[in-house]
A and B are shown apart, each in its own frame.
Chain A
Amino acid sequence: MTVIGERVPRSDGRAKVSGEAVYGVDHSEPGMIWGALLRSPVSSGRISRLDTSAAAAMPGVHAVVTAADAPDVRAGWVIKDQRLFARDVVVYEGQPIAAVAADTLEQARAAVAAIELEIDPRPAVVDLEQAMAPDAPLVHPDWESFVPTAGPDFPRRGNIAAESISDPPGVDEAFARAHRVITDEFVAQRQYQAYIEPKSAVGIYREGRYVIHTASQFPFNVRDRVAQFLDVRPSDVRVIGHTIGGGFGAKLDASLEPYAALLSRAAGGLAVKLVNTRTEDLLTCTCRENAITRVRSALDADGNIIAREFEVIADNGAFSGEMPWLTSIALHCARGVYRTGPTRVIARLVYTNTAPTGAFRGVNGTYLYHAVERHMDHIAAELGVDRREYRLRHLFADGEELLNGQVLHDAGILRKAFDAVDAIAPWEKLQAERRPYRGIGIAAAWWLTNPMPGTAVVKLSDDGTVVVVTAATDNGSGAVSMGVTQIVAERLGIPPSDVRVTMPDTDVAGFDAGSQGSRTTRIVGKASEIAADEVIEKVKAVAATMLEAAPEDLEVAEGTVRVKGAPGNAVSLGEVAVVATNTVGPIQGTGSFVTPFPEFNPGCATGLMLPSFPTPTYHVHLAEVEVDPVTGNVRVLRYVVAQEVGKVISPDGTYGQVAGGVTQGIGYALHESLRIGEDGRYRERTLESYRLPLAPDVPRVEFVPLEHPDPDGPGGAKGVGEGPVLLPAAVIANAVSDAIGKPLNSIPITPEEVLAAIQS
């Protein structure tokens, strides 16, 4: 029996389709009351008056808290630059200023409205270039006092929250002797994760510690952040996870949790629930950052790229979250799949008076690859050569060394991916059949599988089923409900329906680095596999006595332990469990796993915080679009993905990640406009104006999985979930530019921009 690669229904599927599943927003506690936040209505200003006395006297109100009631500390994932409440100044629209707990949500909101707040507005720092100017007003005049959360400080100054620069020798010399130089600038807007379940949290202060119920991608991270904000030990906070209604990176860090915790304490220990309205959620979500990317390539007389300059300016918003750690990703993408000679990479992260940005599936990669791949099309067009052929000419092969010194031993898979796409969407045929206002685009990428640690306990029950105890979360991808479940079932020779996985609880399970970077199937799957192997060893030792055979002559299969070659001579796993409990004690196994970072050259760059990409995967996408020259609307007619996946554990899960990631990428490319006004406030503030891709907007994605099983991965698995979102902006922008014969270098490509380009 094998369940790896089989269509196994997800273990939480029935609960989700029937309405039984309890999401974060569904959780309630006995005697629970409701919280609401007073948020800054402006992006920048000084608080001249804050009076909560009227609010505190409102009916049903249990507590009103402000900065004066919170510990005088700063907190943060990478650098401690954030206070729980604005104290003297506000630095982004939506920043919490006060919180209220009351018997009902209506009472809490009424009390928030009764808080007397006056703010003297200041000009907002919004423009990324101006923010970096020497005389620019500082978002945080006290930036020098900020302390990194762990490890040494990193390059930063003033409004520059982080900086990573790689300046290898030979760049300027190559540009000096270049036959020609091609230059581009690209602009990408923010993208809202737009999970359908808004953020929520229930906080309880009881027995001297905080218990948090929430739907989090990374419960241990939430635990740590709550502990930082409330100035207690991490172990004084317990985070209990519930079913997540989508996250895509935005539910990795704490959001409402510390407010719920503090309010509960202030309300004498009553459970307090906070839920974002959709507009609160949109305005304060750690969106994918907006960015400006400039690329300059030096070409020799034959058109080959002999050097490159790559500059990124990304918007951090008012506080840092995970962002500084991600700044050096530019280094890995600027020359990630194509040979470009010596390449100078300058990446800066800039504070502005806007909502903090943060992780969104395919962090930074979406706009970095958009820039790289639009630029490749531009060069090919200037040279008058075929765009696909030009890519293949520069494409990495096995053994390529990257800018950081990391060697890609298997980069030759990229060529296989181009071939796989061509097999179902032949480039020459598509070119030959081109019609007016139709265009095609192609692009390639490499990406990592997040290496961070995870652990699991597998315990055998008396009925032969197992429970996997882990703090891993299934963000919806199926990484736990299919991936980990199937991997354990496979190892133990039991049906997936006999494997149950706990919901996360930081008191119960060991550290897990959360559902990020496509890591869960690989890391937690591997930890669970190791734990299952320990169970197998213990089972064999006990069964050896029962079967009067040597442990090495036994095998675990089909829910039994049996003598190899004599399948009739067997005992069930349940029987072994019962005997074990009464002889050697209950059987369980423990496994932990972390992927080491691939070797790199630490001297290759300053600010190298994410130094190399562990467990690489390779990706090629192709899109065909049609432009309506009257409306400017773009229709994606065809979308093809060839992706290296290690090994497919669940075909439905894998395809779901590809189709879903591509759809988010189509939204990013064409629909999801999130503009920031000069006042630092978002123009789009609801799901009516922030336009998500709908069923009529997207085609069925044609997908070719390329299997190259990873010897270290469970069942050969590598990360799958993030890669699909990396390239849609690149290929669609290339396809639309191809369709109208004009370059479109901003994301998203709105109908207005298409029409303006056509008419230009």
Chain B
Amino acid sequence: MEVSFTVNGKPTQVEIDPAETLLSTLRDRLRLTGTKEGCSEGECGACTVLVDGRPVDSCIYATGAAAGRAVETVEGMARDELGRALQEAFVAAGGVQCGFCTPGFVTTLVSVLRENEHPSEDELRTALAGNICRCTGYSQILDAVAATVAGRAAR
């Protein structure tokens, strides 16, 4: 089947098997390997991308379901003001260790912060319950969000 959608703003058309996942399309077909495959069962959140602004686990999301929609990946976040600020804050705050989960955290958090300019720490922890980080213990990730929120307020 043929599917058309945008990826990080770029119109994209792919010819795929109907069962193909969005993760496979992004990584194997479009060579956007920033999105990671951690479990293929929608548990770890490393594969999180935004579809029409909402975070989805791309490992269990059919590419066909993205037809006509806007897909955003971690690669696109570098060209998004909020995404870039968040990426820089992750580095500055020590929110990255092995970094394999980071693309999923960045995309999830961009979605959260677009909706809510001042989330509480409890709201953030709940919003991040679908993203597993095995390295950091989450504190420095929350620090990165706090710095991003503060930076946005200062502008």
A interface vs B, CB < 8 Å? 7, 9-10, 12-14, 16-23, 25-26, 193-198, 243-248, 277-278, 475-478, 652-653, 655-656, 659-664, 686-688, 692, 694-696, 698, 700-701
Contact = CB atoms under 8 A, between A and B. Distances in A.
A246 B140 contact: no
B96 A10 contact: yes
Contacts of B46: 196
12 contacts: A17-B91, A17-B103, A18-B78, A193-B134, A195-B100, A196-B101, A246-B100, A476-B135, A652-B140, A686-B41, A687-B44, A698-B137
A197 B94 contact: no
Interface string B101-138: 11100100000000000000010111011011111111
A12 B99 contact: yes
Looking at A16, A25, A655, the one whose CB has the most chain B CB atoms below 10 A away is A16
Q: Which 6 A-B pairs have the closest CB atoms?
A: A19-B34, A245-B100, A476-B98, A16-B99, A652-B94, A13-B91
A687 B133 CA distance: 13
B91 A246 contact: no
A559 B128 CA distance: 43
A530 B41 CA distance: 48
Looking at B37, B92, B99, the one whose CB has the most chain A CB atoms below 10 A away is B99
Nearest to A661: B137
B13 interface: no
Looking at B43, B124, B135, the one whose CB has the most chain A CB atoms below 10 A away is B135
A222 to B, nearest CB: 18
Majority-rule SS of A interface residues: loop
A196 B93 CA distance: 21
A195 B98 contact: yes
A60 to B, nearest CB: 16
A14 B38 contact: no
B80 to A, nearest CB: 12
Contacts of A688: 41, 43
B92 to A, nearest CB: 6
Nearest to A651: B94
Contact of A660 (B91, B92, B93, B135): B135
B50 interface: no
Contacts of A196: 36, 38, 44, 46, 98, 100-101, 132-134
A660 B97 CA distance: 9
Nearest to A198: B38
Interface residues of B, number: 52
Given A13-B91, A17-B90, A687-B43, A656 B140 contact: yes
Looking at A245, A278, A661, A662, the one whose CB has the most chain B CB atoms below 10 A away is A245
Contacts, number: 164
Nearest to B91: A13
A737 to B, nearest CB: 24
B65 interface: no
A14 B41 CA distance: 28
A692 B132 contact: yes
A17 B139 contact: no
Given A19-B75, A476-B135, A663-B138, A655 B36 contact: no
Contacts of A695: 124-126, 128-129, 131, 133, 138, 141-142
Given A196-B134, A695-B125, A19 B44 contact: no
B128 A17 contact: no
Contacts of B48: none
A290 B107 CA distance: 37
A285 to B, nearest CB: 13
A652 B96 CA distance: 10
B6 interface: no
Given A195-B134, A663-B136, 12 more contacts: A14-B87, A16-B99, A17-B88, A17-B102, A17-B106, A18-B78, A19-B33, A21-B99, A197-B36, A198-B37, A687-B41, A695-B126
B36 A18 contact: no
A660 B33 CA distance: 26
A754 to B, nearest CB: 22
A277 B43 CA distance: 13
Interface string B1-37: 0000000000000000000000000000000111111
A15 to B, nearest CB: 8
Contact of B137 (A244, A245, A660): A660
Contacts of B140: 652, 655-656, 659
B134 A692 contact: yes
A633 B101 CA distance: 27
Nearest to B75: A19
B41 A278 contact: yes
A497 to B, nearest CB: 12
A278 B90 CA distance: 27
B134 A248 contact: yes
B129 A20 contact: no
A23 to B, nearest CB: 6
A134 to B, nearest CB: 42
A656 B103 contact: no
B35 to A, nearest CB: 7
Contacts of B87: 14, 17-18
B74 interface: yes
Interface in B28-80: 32-41, 43-44, 46, 73-75, 77-78
A278 B98 contact: no
A244 B98 contact: yes
A2 B63 CA distance: 51
A245 B43 CA distance: 16
A640 B11 CA distance: 51
B48 to A, nearest CB: 12
Contact of A701 (B74, B132, B137): B137
A682 to B, nearest CB: 16
A24 to B, nearest CB: 10
Contacts of B125: 695-696
Contacts of B135: 246, 476, 656, 660
B136 A660 contact: yes
A686 B34 contact: no
Contacts of A23: 36, 100
A20 B75 CA distance: 8
Given A26-B33, A660-B136, A660-B137, A696 B100 contact: no
A83 B25 CA distance: 37
B132 A662 contact: no
B139 A700 contact: yes
A18 B94 contact: no
A242 to B, nearest CB: 12
Nearest to B127: A695
Contacts of B91: 9-10, 13-14, 16-17
Contacts of A243: 98-99
A194 B92 CA distance: 26
Looking at B37, B75, B138, the one whose CB has the most chain A CB atoms below 10 A away is B138
B37 A25 contact: yes
Looking at B37, B38, B88, the one whose CB has the most chain A CB atoms below 10 A away is B38
A26 B75 CA distance: 15
A6 B114 CA distance: 33
A478 B38 contact: no
A698 B38 CA distance: 22
Contacts of B102: 16-17
Contact of B99 (A17, A277, A652): A17
A701 B41 contact: no
A469 to B, nearest CB: 23
A653 B94 contact: yes
A278 B45 CA distance: 13
A517 B130 CA distance: 31
A660 B94 CA distance: 11
A399 to B, nearest CB: 35
B138 A277 contact: no
